[in-house]
Amino acid sequence: PNFSSAKATVLRKEKCGIVDESTRVGPKPRALRYIADPNGEYPVNCDKFSDLCDVVKRVARNREVVAAVSNKNIFYMLGLFIEGLKKTKIENYIIVALDAETATWCKERDVPYYHRELQSITGTTDNHATSGLKFRILNEFVSTGTSVLLSDVDVVWMQDPFADDPKSSNQRLIYRDADIEGMTDGWDDPSAYGFSWNRQRRLVARNSGLFFVAATHNTQTMMQRLAERMATEKNTWDQTAYNEEQVYLWGQPKHEAYSGVSQRVMNYMCFMNSKYFFRFMRFDEDLYPTHRAASVHVNYHPEKPDRMVSIIAQYWKDEKDAIDVWNWGEGRKGAKECAQRPPDADVLKSIASSPLAQALITKSKAKPGTWSGNAGMVLRADGTLTTPWNTGKWGLLTLARTKNTLFMDFGGAHHILTLTRGEASSGVSETYAFTSRRCTDNNEVHVLFD
Statement: residue 289 has pLDDT above 80: yes
More confident: 336 or 127:
336
Residue 279, burial from CB neighbour count under 10 angstroms (0-12, 13-18, 19+): middle
More confident: 403 or 243:
243
Q: What percent of the chain has pLDDT over 70?
A: 94
The predicted-structure confidence for 199-243, as pLDDT tens digits, reads as follows 888 889 999 999 999 999 999 999 999 999 999 998 899 999 999
The predicted-structure confidence for 379-396, as pLDDT tens digits, reads as follows 999 999 999 999 999 999
Statement: residue 402 has pLDDT above 60: no
Statement: residue 120 has pLDDT above 80: no
Stretch 24-53: mean pLDDT: 95
More confident: 20 or 297:
297
Say what the pLDDT of residue 106 is: 98
Say what the pLDDT of residue 128 is: 60
Stretch 340-363: mean pLDDT: 93
CB 174 within 8 A of CB 294: no
More confident: 147 or 245:
147
Rounded (10°) CA dihedral 232, 236, 241, 244:
-110
Stretch 79-105: mean pLDDT: 97
Residue 75: pLDDT band (50, 70, 90) is very high
CB 112 within 8 A of CB 94: yes
Q: What is the mean pLDDT of the chain?
A: 91
Residue 166: pLDDT band (50, 70, 90) is low
Statement: residue 251 has pLDDT above 60: no
Q: What percent of the chain has pLDDT over 90?
A: 77
Say what the pLDDT of residue 256 is: 60
HEC secondary structure over 199-265: CEEECCCEEEEEEEECCEHHHHHHHHHHHHHHHHCCCCCHHHHHHHHHHCCCCECCECCCCCCCEEE
Backbone angles phi, psi at 385, to 5 degrees: -145, 155
Stretch 188-207: mean pLDDT: 92
Say what the pLDDT of residue 423 is: 83
Beta bridge partners of 197: 200
Say what the pLDDT of residue 400 is: 45
Q: Among the listed ranges 28-42, 98-112, 223-237, 334-348, which one has the minimum average pLDDT value?
A: 334-348
Residue 125: pLDDT band (50, 70, 90) is low
